[in-house]
Amino acid sequence: MTINAVKTHRELLADRTPGHGMPGGLFGRQDIFETDVDVFFTKHWILVGVTSDVPEPGDVSTIDIGKSSILLVRDDDEHVQAFRNVCRHRGARLKQAGKSTVGMLVCPYHQWSYDLDGSLKHAAHMGQDFDPKCKSLIPVHTRVIGTHVFVCLGDEPPEDILYLDQVMTQRFAQYDIVHSKIAHESEIIENGNWKLVIENNRECYHCAATHPELTASFLPEDFGFCTDGLGEDSLQALAEYHRRNADTKTNWEREGYICDAVEHLGEDAVTQFRSQRLAIAGNGESQTLDTRVACTRLFGELTRRDLGDVHLWTHNSWTHVMSDHAVVSYIIPLAPDKTLVRTKWLVHADAVEGVDYQVDKLTEVWAATNLQDANLVGITHSGTQDPAYTPGPFSAFTETYVDQFSRWYAARLAAHGV
Q: Categorize the per-residue pLDDT at 237 as very low, low, confident or very high, splitting at 50, 70 and 90.
A: low
Residue 1's pLDDT is what? 40
Q: Categorize the per-residue pLDDT at 242 as very low, low, confident or very high, splitting at 50, 70 and 90.
A: confident
Q: Categorize the per-residue pLDDT at 239 as very low, low, confident or very high, splitting at 50, 70 and 90.
A: confident
Taking 3-state DSSP, the helix, strand and coil percentages for the chain, each rounded to the nearest 5, stand at: 30, 25, 45
Decide: 364 and 213 in contact? Cβ < 8 Å.
yes
User: CA 113 to CA 129: how far, in whole Å?
Assistant: 18
Residues 273-294 have a mean pLDDT of 95
The residue ranking higher by pLDDT, 207 or 230, is 207
Q: CB atoms < 10 A from the CB of 207, how many?
A: 18
pLDDT tens for residues 138-191? 999 999 999 999 999 999 999 999 999 999 999 999 999 999 999 999 999 999
User: CA 123 to CA 127: how far, in whole Å?
Assistant: 9
Query: Between the CA of residue 321 and those of 83, 233, 407, what are the distances in Å?
Result: 28, 33, 28
| Mean pLDDT lowest among 94-103, 119-128, 245-254, 341-350 | 245-254
Decide: 263 and 276 in contact? Cβ < 8 Å.
no
Question: What average pLDDT does the chain have?
Answer: 94
Decide: 211 and 372 in contact? Cβ < 8 Å.
yes
Residues 6+ apart with CB under 8 A from 255: 304
Would you call 258 exposed, middle or buried from its count of C-beta atoms within 10 A (0-12, 13-18, 19+)?
middle
pLDDT surpassing 90 at residue 10: yes
Q: What is the pTM of this model?
A: 0.95
Nearest residue to 272 (alpha-carbon basis) of 312, 326, 311? 312
Rounded to a whole number, what is the largest CA-CA distance in the chain?
Answer: 86
Query: Between the CA of residue 213 and those of 216, 276, 291, what are the distances in Å?
Result: 6, 21, 10
Angle (CA) 89-156-112 rounded to 5° is 15
Residue 317's pLDDT is what? 98
pLDDT tens for residues 362-415? 999 999 999 999 999 999 999 999 999 999 999 998 999 999 999 999 999 999
Residue 407 CA from chain centroid, whole number:
19
For the chain, the C-alpha Rg in angstroms (whole number) is 23
Q: CB atoms < 10 A from the CB of 88, how many?
A: 18
Query: Between the CA of residue 212 and those of 287, 288, 302, 375, 379, what are the distances in Å?
Result: 12, 11, 29, 15, 19
Nearest residue to 75 (alpha-carbon basis) of 144, 133, 124? 144
| Mean pLDDT lowest among 27-36, 149-158, 247-256 | 247-256
**Measured torsion, CA atoms of residues 167, 168, 173, 179, in degrees rounded to the nearest 10:** -160
pLDDT tens for residues 108-141? 999 999 999 999 999 999 999 999 999 999 999 9
Residue 227's pLDDT is what? 63
Residues 19-47 have a mean pLDDT of 98
pLDDT surpassing 80 at residue 219: no
Residue 225's pLDDT is what? 62
